[in-house]
Amino acid sequence: MGLHIGDEAPDFSAPTTEGTIRFHEWIGDSWVILFSHPKDFTPVCTTELGYLARLKPEFDKRNTKVIGLSIDSVDDHRRWAGDIAETQGTALNYPLIGDTDLVVAKLYDMIHPNASGNAASRTAVDNATVRSVFLIGPDKKIKLTMTYPMSAGRNFDEVLRALDAVQLNAKHTVATPVNWRPGEDVIIPTSVSEEAAKAKYPGGWKTLKPYLRFVPQPK
């Protein structure tokens, strides 16, 4: 059965480049970006891992941990890390999970449950669907998922923007409109009545339709 927004993120124990972790324990009271790769030493993923290492301070500011996964061993990850630092100009600064037996990939429905073999016997094409991003909250629930094909590099600036939107919603019960950026107006959800909105936003709001009410972003 697939995973959906609102489901609890499956817990697991796994080796990583920073030691063995128990996932839920490692999350603690943080938010988490878990993102996956079909194979080490692949071109698109090399650029992604390097870019996310540069972007990691922004996730740190948002109480968000970053962790990667690839269908290879931790030893392979460590060798790959040298290439990433050399070609992308930034060293890895977050853990990479070694998933040689596909356990985590299957747990998160990133690969067919009947997939067989181990990392050494499988190619990147065999693992092509292992290209997902999961945003997980401190409550260990899945808040957002994205899956990309191997040929399309992920936009981690968009992942950061989406994280801002999800965290804002969790704190203030607002929604964000198309292409929203931090600091721009937000939407009062239809679940908030007029009476509740008056109490919450005494300064008022802009109504385009009864179901479309804009208000400045709460602090």
Answer for the pair 68, 49: CB distance below 8 angstroms, yes or no.
yes
**In angstroms, rounded to a whole number, what is the distance separating the alpha carbons of residues 82 and 69?**
17
Burial (Cβ within 10 Å: 0-12, 13-18, ≥19) of residue 112: exposed
Active-site residues, by number, are 45
**In angstroms, rounded to a whole number, what is the distance separating the alpha carbons of residues 72 and 15?**
11
Task: Residue 42: count other Cβ atoms within 10 Å of its Cβ.
Answer: 19
Q: According to DSSP H, which parts of the chain are helical?
A: 23-27, 43-61, 74-88, 103-107, 156-172, 194-200
